[in-house]
Amino acid sequence: MVQKQVRQGMVARMCRIIIAVVSLLNAVAVGAEWQMTEFMISLWDSAEDEASAQAIIDANFNTAMCDIGNLDLCRRYGLKAIVMGATPEMAADRVEDSAVWGYYVKDEPTADEFPAVGQQVAVLHRADPSHPAYVNLMAWMDLDQYLQIVAPKVLSYDYYQWWWGTQNHFSRLAAHRRAALGANIPLICWLEANADPRWEWGEPGCTYLPDNAVKLRQSVYTAIAYGVKGIQWFNELLMFSDHQLTQAGEDVAALNAELRRVGPNLIRLESVDVFHTLPLPTDTKELPTDHWVQTTTPDLVLGTFKAELHNDFMIVANRLIDHRRWAVLQFRRSVSEVTKFDKQEGRWVSLPLSRWGRQSTVEFILAPGDGELLKIR
């Protein structure tokens, strides 16, 4: 009897191991089937009728939340849909549906909700391996625990620096960038559409700060320097009034237009590192003195990237919202050309190079909060 119980226990343990291995292999296979191919420009709003869909498109978004019953509406307007209310059976029928971005699961789950959320994510991924289940995370959650338990295909988080404090903006970007790179998944983040911290939900009487546009610009281009593959705006009440843009909405729409032009370049870049120039914000690192690019210009964020063979890319952003910076970059290696992506014209333009032997220098102006994408050949 004892030997029989031992054998049964061994068989049960072996079955559990086999199930775990199979589940792991399935997770790896499923994770390999989806890739993010378009820079996301999204918002906390649902395309629920013709007027709302048209307003979202006119504000230069390419992705919106959408009830499963309104998926054809998103399709007609060329919007990718974060589908809300989809069952696994519904997801299985939409494996090849190009209107689907992914499937909404949960916003800001607590740690004790991770196991249940992870189960929902796994079920949706098995039903439709070609689209990700979507979960958004609060900025201070345990990322290792979240990634291990939930196993998402994309890391989305919110931190609103103009509402909650600028001192943690870069530390949250750095932590989520490391986590996303470690899990080999894309990173997207939420930003506030109105920088006035008194109006998170667009209450009546919501005011507009005169420096709103530059604050939003700084949030966008510093986040891009950290390698985010999507910007999401919170919330629709701050951006629209009766489907018409508010002043804050106009700021968002203008930035979205730039992101639509530069996005096809950003989506294919692989983040290599991120540096800051003095004075250093919390949880940032200074540009090493032996790095191949050097600058003494203060208040910069420099994100370095790889993509095409023999090319390096950089996002150079101005942290300041009240002063422009004359960025001077020196390259300590042979450089044949430096081009800057013109965010208004949507094309690459050459920058003048000053040369001293193998070293060369480029200079350009960064408006308050602005950033530029550079290609170095």
- DSSP symbols for 38-58: S-EEEES-B--SHHHHHHHHH
CB 59 within 8 A of CB 253: yes
CB 48 within 8 A of CB 237: no
The whole-number pLDDT of residue 13 equals 52
CB 270 within 8 A of CB 306: yes
φ, ψ for residue 100, nearest 5 deg: -85, 125
| H runs (alpha helix) in the chain | 2-31, 50-58, 71-76, 88-92, 114-127, 143-150, 161-164, 169-183, 212-225, 236-239, 247-266
- The region that residue 310 occupies, defined by phi over 0 for left and psi between -120 and 50 for alpha, beta otherwise, is left
Pick from 156, 231, 161, 141: which is nearest to 187 by CA?
A: 156
Structure tokens at 200: 């998170």
Pick from 262, 265, 285: which is nearest to 274 by CA?
A: 285
Q: What's the CA gap between 266 and 64, in Å, rounded?
A: 20
Which helix (DSSP H) or strand (DSSP E) does residue 296 occupy?
Answer: none
The tens place of each residue's pLDDT in the chain, 377 residues long, gives 444 444 445 534 543 443 343 344 444 444 447 999 999 999 998 899 999 999 999 999 999 999 999 999 999 999 999 999 999 999 999 999 999 999 999 999 999 999 999 999 999 999 999 999 999 999 999 999 999 999 999 999 999 999 999 999 999 999 999 999 999 999 999 999 999 998 888 887 789 999 999 999 999 999 999 999 999 999 999 999 999 999 999 999 999 999 999 999 999 999 999 999 999 999 999 999 999 999 999 999 999 999 977 789 999 999 999 999 999 999 999 999 999 999 999 999 999 999 988 899 999 999 999 999 999 99
The whole-number pLDDT of residue 24 equals 45
The whole-number pLDDT of residue 29 equals 40
Instruction: List strands edge to edge, sheet with 40-43.
Output: 40-43, 230-234, 187-192, 155-158, 133-138, 100-107, 80-84, 63-67
Asked, as a colleague might, if the bond just before 279 is cis with ω within 30 of 0, I would say yes
The 10 Å CB-count burial string (b at 16+, else e) for 231-263 is: bbbbbbbbbbeeeebbbbbbbbbebbbbbbbbb
C-alpha dihedral (316, 320, 326, 331), degrees to nearest 10: -30
Structural domains of the chain ordered from first start: 35-266 (3.20.20.80), 270-376 (2.60.40)
Q: Is 260 helix (H, G, I), strand (E, B) or coil?
A: helix
- The region that residue 357 occupies, defined by phi over 0 for left and psi between -120 and 50 for alpha, beta otherwise, is left
* Residue 167: CB atoms within 10 Å: 11
